[in-house]
């Protein structure tokens, strides 16, 4: 039984349903910003209960612009977590700043007990990541940020719909970013991103900056870039947003089945602790596994498309050589890079596939126990 990592062909097998709205878009000729993007932005802002949503080309672009909107400038430092997708750190560098990493905890989230000691007079923002669609301890992060007067930019790229005690990821910081990359919970037919904020001034800056700084066709108020959401993606995103709750519930159900099925195997493979008040959206279903590389190969040989996010931490990547970090600086993150595994748990995985995955994992550890 093949258990696929990607579900996009299944998710969009009803693509004809998108055509009426796409036809309207094509006949309107509104191909840059315009009413389709505006309607999507309003709908997303209403979903999160925030004042402003601003569509962008990518989640990475959303992060770069968010950092600029809170005042990150060349020479600043921005604190983020060591175990994340490269785009979190890349966005900080693209905004002209220096990424300062903090180790993660056993939930694969930023270790808030190590956050404060990373703050320096140059810290211009804290950028916690809702890694894998799960949330870090935002209350502690906000408390530290407020005490130091430092703005928070949430990298909520993988976490549309995640929440802590009913409060959505992306509604804690001053300006926050989401991705609509195809493998994110709210996804489109290519790239897309969204920035959200309740701050009118930041929103005004972002709308100008994302559109070349244009006040109107003939007046340029500030230097800017082209970071506009494509109207086609706004149409797709809007339709996916209509179904987001079902989609998240299916992921939660699958993650619970996996958690349940892995019980009894804790000595070999274990999902993280899941605080009750956190709603995870399982962009990735992560677990810590002994003999991870062997397990990965075993699963792949049995047509289960498991993956590793990620085997090399950012601070040990060649790109990060100028930052001056070395092996040993973030021991939890480095250990997890050797132990972590991602199992397919998306909304199109069936109960039968989950049972199959669990039996293969059991077989691996029980039959292939090293003597
Ligand atoms: C944590 C995190 N930050 C940023 C990004 C960047 O988003 P995008 O691929 O839309 O640029 C992603 C996903 O790709 C991500 O997982």
- Substitution site in 89, 128, 179, 187 for ligand 1 pocket (most atoms within 8 Å of beta carbon): 179
CA of 371 to the centre of ligand 1 (A): 42
Per-residue pLDDT of 48-95, as tens digits, reads 999 999 999 999 999 999 999 999 999 999 999 999 999 999 999 999
Say which residue the tokens 């878009």 belong to. Answer: 25
| Any atom of ligand 1 within 6 Å of the Cβ of 337 | no
Q: Quote the pLDDT of residue 52.
A: 99
| Any atom of ligand 1 within 6 Å of the Cβ of 158 | yes
| Any atom of ligand 1 within 6 Å of the Cβ of 58 | yes
pLDDT at 310 over 90: yes
| Any atom of ligand 1 within 6 Å of the Cβ of 123 | no
CA of 61 to the centre of ligand 1 (A): 9
Minimum-distance ligand 1 atom for the alpha carbon of 180: 10
Cα–Cα distance measured from residue 29 to residue 31, given in angstroms and rounded to the nearest whole number:
6
Say which residue the tokens 């004042």 belong to. Answer: 51
Confidence at 369, pLDDT banded by 50, 70, 90? low
pLDDT at 370 over 80: no
**Ligand 1, atom 8: nearest CA belongs to which residue?**
59
Phi, psi at 158, each rounded to 5°: -90, 15
| Any atom of ligand 1 within 6 Å of the Cβ of 154 | no
Mean pLDDT of 219-244: 98
- Substitution site in 60, 110, 134, 185 for ligand 1 pocket (most atoms within 8 Å of beta carbon): 60
Per-residue pLDDT of 324-339, as tens digits, reads 999 999 999 999 999 9
User: Which residue in 234, 211, 243, 181 sits closest to 24, CA to CA?
Assistant: 234
Minimum-distance ligand 1 atom for the alpha carbon of 181: 10
Confidence at 368, pLDDT banded by 50, 70, 90? low
| Any atom of ligand 1 within 6 Å of the Cβ of 60 | yes
Per-residue pLDDT of 206-230, as tens digits, reads 999 999 999 999 999 999 999 999 9
CA of 159 to the centre of ligand 1 (A): 10
| Any atom of ligand 1 within 6 Å of the Cβ of 157 | yes
What domains are there in the chain, each with its CATH number? 8-242 (3.40.640.10), 244-367 (3.90.1150.10)
Write the secondary structure of the chain as one string of H (helix), E (strand) and C (coil): CCECCCCHHHHCCCHHHHHHHHHHHHHHCCCCCCHHHHHHHHHHHHHHCCCEEEEECCHHHHHHHHHHHCCCCCCCEEEEECCCCHHHHHHHHHCCCEEEEECECCCCCECHHHCHHHCCCCEEEECCECHHHCCCCHHHHHHHHHHHCCCECCECCCCCCCEECCEECCCCCCEEEEECCCCCCCCCCCCCEEEEECCHHHHHHHHHHCECCEEECCEECCCCCECCCCHHHHHHHHHHHHCHHHHHHHHHHHHHHHHHHCCCCCCCEECCCCCCCEECCCCCEEEEECCHHHHHHHHHHCCECCECCCCCCHHHCHHHHHHCCCCCCCHHHHHHHHHEEEECCCCCCCHHHHHHHHHHHHHHHHHCCCC
pLDDT at 36 over 60: yes
| Any atom of ligand 1 within 6 Å of the Cβ of 309 | no
Cα–Cα distance measured from residue 273 to residue 72, given in angstroms and rounded to the nearest whole number:
34
**Cβ 194 vs Cβ 181: under 8 Å:** no
| Any atom of ligand 1 within 6 Å of the Cβ of 181 | yes
Say if residue 310 is preceded by a cis peptide, omega within 30 of 0: yes
CA of 362 to the centre of ligand 1 (A): 33
- For residue 119, what are the CA distances in angstroms to 37, 114, 124, 148, 358? 38, 10, 9, 9, 43
pLDDT at 298 over 70: yes
Minimum-distance ligand 1 atom for the alpha carbon of 61: 11
pLDDT at 371 over 50: no
Per-residue pLDDT of 128-169, as tens digits, reads 999 999 999 999 999 999 999 999 999 999 999 999 999 999
| Any atom of ligand 1 within 6 Å of the Cβ of 41 | no
Cα–Cα distance measured from residue 189 to residue 12, given in angstroms and rounded to the nearest whole number:
9
CA of 26 to the centre of ligand 1 (A): 29
| Any atom of ligand 1 within 6 Å of the Cβ of 193 | yes
pLDDT at 270 over 80: yes
pLDDT at 248 over 70: yes
Minimum-distance ligand 1 atom for the alpha carbon of 63: 4
Mean pLDDT value across the chain: 97
CA of 284 to the centre of ligand 1 (A): 13
**Ligand 1, atom 7: nearest CA belongs to which residue?**
59
| Any atom of ligand 1 within 6 Å of the Cβ of 129 | yes
CA of 84 to the centre of ligand 1 (A): 9
Q: Quote the pLDDT of residue 367.
A: 74
């Amino acid at each position: 039984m093949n258990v696929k990592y990607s579900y996009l062909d299944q998710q969009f097998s009803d693509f004809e349903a998108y055509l009426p709205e796409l036809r309207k878009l094509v006949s309107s000729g509104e191909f840059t910003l315009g009413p389709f993007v505006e309607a999507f932005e309003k709908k997303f802002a209403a979903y999160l209960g925030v004042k402003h949503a601003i569509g962008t080309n990518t989640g990475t672009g959303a992060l770069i612009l968010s950092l600029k909107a809170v005042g990150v400038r060349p020479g600043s430092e921005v604190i983020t977590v060591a175990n994340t997708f490269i785009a979190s750190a890349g966005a900080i560098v693209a905004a002209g700043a220096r990424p300062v990493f903090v180790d993660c905890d056993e939930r694969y989230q930023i270790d808030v007990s190590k956050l404060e000691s990373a703050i320096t007079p140059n810290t211009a923002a804290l950028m916690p990541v809702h890694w894998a669609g799960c949330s870090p301890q935002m209350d502690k992060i906000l408390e530290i940020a407020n005490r130091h007067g430092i703005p928070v930019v949430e990298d909520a790229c993988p976490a549309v719909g995640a929440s802590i005690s009913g409060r959505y990821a992306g509604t804690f910081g001053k300006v926050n970013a989401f991705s609509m990359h195809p493998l994110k919970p709210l996804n489109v037919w290519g790239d897309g991103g969204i920035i959200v904020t309740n701050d009118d001034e930041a929103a005004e800056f972002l709308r100008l900056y994302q559109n070349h700084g244009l006040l109107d066709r003939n007046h340029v108020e500030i230097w800017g870039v082209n970071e506009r959401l494509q109207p086609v993606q706004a149409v797709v995103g809007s339709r996916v947003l209509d179904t987001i709750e079902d989609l998240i519930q299916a992921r939660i159900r699958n993650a619970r089945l996996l958690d349940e099925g892995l019980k009894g195997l804790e000595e070999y493979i274990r999902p993280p602790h899941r605080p009750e008040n956190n709603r995870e959206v399982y962009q990735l279903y992560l677990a810590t596994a002994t003999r991870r590389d062997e397990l990965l190969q075993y699963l792949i040989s049995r047509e289960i498309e498991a993956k590793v996010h990620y085997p090399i931490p950012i601070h040990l990547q060649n790109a990060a050589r100028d930052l001056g970090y070395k092996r040993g600086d973030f021991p939890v993150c480095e250990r997890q890079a050797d132990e972590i595994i991602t199992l397919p748990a998306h909304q199109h995985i069936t109960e039968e596939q989950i049972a199959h995955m669990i039996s293969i994992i059991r077989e691996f550890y029980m039959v292939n126990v090293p003597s």
